[in-house]
Amino acid sequence: MLRDEAAPIVILTGAGISKESGLHTFRDPDGIWARYDISEVATPDAFINNPDLVHHFYNDRRAALIDPDIQPNTAHRALARLEREWPGDVLLVTQNIDDLHGRAGSKNLIHMHGELLKIRCNHCDLLTHWSDPLGRETPCPACGKSGGLRPHVVWFGEMPLEMERIYAALADCGLFISIGTSGNVYPAAGFVQTARDEAGTETIELNLEPSNGATLFDHSQYGPATELVPAFVN
Ligand code: BJW
């Protein structure tokens, strides 16, 4: 598949890779956005207007994530193995806020939409690991003020994290792989075009079904991530 056998690889993952671990995607018929209105839980205005609902939404998702039944699957593990064994750089950029890639052993990992198990404070610089369910009055353990603690996630209208590092890697990669994402959310949905334009990169999509940007990929394979990803990495 690769022209250069040590070429840097950039991998973008989305909710589909964690689906077979037992976590919901967003836009599938049984997805999160079928039960919640995006504008009520995933925007800065939602947090200002109804912090209780936003905290409830993320407290529930943390409880689901730390359930012992939720474990990395063979697709997460295959990507960690690729990073260990590939002679060139492998950068894994995930839109997912779960911690399954890290638990599977991926190290060169960017959580561009944040991390569910971290919280930060709007009043001070605190960024820390979450330990207990948050409420609107929960005081910040660093500055002591209430009302400022929020999930360390990127809501609509907010800037995704580590964009400079991501774009630098896209401009220099020999293979771009997109896994388990519907291609609805920017800037991630534009990475395939950037990799093509900036680096003439070979591009491949591994997804259950064609994504919004399916025609931009040189190669596509459709099916469950736990089958496609280990087979691709081997
Ligand atoms: C399987 C499977 C299995 C199922 N195996 N596959 C350009 C045009 C128009 C609008 C914009 C634009 N640029 C920016 C915007 C605004 C906005 C945006 O994109 N809006 C769109 C709706 C149009 N973007 C933003 O606001 C972003 N910020 C921003 O752009 O800042 C300015 C900026 C400008 C320039 C450069 C840099 C920055 C922020 C976006 C934040 C997204 N936040 C969320 C929620 C927060 C975290 C959380 O609560 O979890 O992130 S939304 C939600 O969607 C979540 C996800 O990470 C994200 C992507 O979803 P994903 O992963 O693709 O999931 P699904 O469900 O959509 O798809 C799953 C796929 O898996 C499907 O295809 C299935 O088929 C497949 N699948 N089972 C393999 N077993």
pLDDT band for position 4 (50/70/90)? low
Residue whose CA lies nearest to ligand 1 atom number 12: 186
- What is the pLDDT at residue 199? 87
State which ligand 1 atom lies nearest to the alpha carbon of 224: 5
Alpha carbon distance 30, 35 (integer Å): 8
State which ligand 1 atom lies nearest to the alpha carbon of 185: 19
**Which whole number is the average pLDDT over 33-39?**
95
**pLDDT surpasses 90 at 21:** yes
Does 95 sit in the ligand 1 pocket, CB within 6 Å?
yes
Choosing from 38, 61, 186, 204 the residue with most ligand 1 atoms within 8 A of its CB, the one to mutate for a pocket test is 186
Give the pLDDT confidence of 153-181 residue by residue, as tens digits.
999 999 999 999 999 999 999 999 999 99
Closest CA to 152 of 135, 133, 129, 171: 129
The amino acid sitting at 154 is V
pLDDT band for position 82 (50/70/90)? very high
Binding residues for NAD(+): 14-33, 95-98, 180-182, 207-209, 225
Active site residue 219: no
Binding residues for substrate: 58, 61
Q: How far is the CA of 163 from the centre of ligand 1 (A)?
A: 15
Domains in the chain, CATH or no CATH each: 1-23+72-113+160-234 (3.40.50.1220), 29-69+118-153 (3.30.1600.10)
Task: Give one DSSP letter per residue of 35-86, joined into a string.
Answer: HS-HHHHSSHHHHHH-HHHHHHHHHHHHHHHTSTT----HHHHHHHHHHHH-
Does 13 sit in the ligand 1 pocket, CB within 6 Å?
no
pLDDT band for position 51 (50/70/90)? very high
Residue whose CA lies nearest to ligand 1 atom number 7: 186
State which ligand 1 atom lies nearest to the alpha carbon of 163: 37
Q: Which one is catalytic: 101, 113, 152, 219?
A: 113
- What is the pLDDT at residue 116? 98
Provide the percentage of residues in the chain whose pLDDT is more than 70. 98
Alpha carbon distance 121, 148 (integer Å): 5
Give the pLDDT confidence of 171-209 residue by residue, as tens digits.
999 999 999 999 999 999 999 999 999 989 999 999 999
pTM of this structure: 0.96
107 CB-near residues (< 8 Å, 6+ apart): 83
Report ipTM (2 d.p.). 0.94
- What is the pLDDT at residue 71? 98
- What is the pLDDT at residue 125? 86
- What is the pLDDT at residue 234? 86
Phi, psi of 157 (to 5 degrees): 90, -10
Does 172 sit in the ligand 1 pocket, CB within 6 Å?
no
Residue whose CA lies nearest to ligand 1 atom number 38: 159
State which ligand 1 atom lies nearest to the alpha carbon of 31: 66
Give the pLDDT confidence of 98-157 residue by residue, as tens digits.
999 999 999 999 999 999 999 999 999 899 999 989 999 999 999 999 999 999 999 999
- What is the pLDDT at residue 2? 52
Q: How far is the CA of 92 from the centre of ligand 1 (A)?
A: 16
**Which whole number is the average pLDDT over 32-44?**
96
CB-CB contact of 172 with 135 (8 Å): no
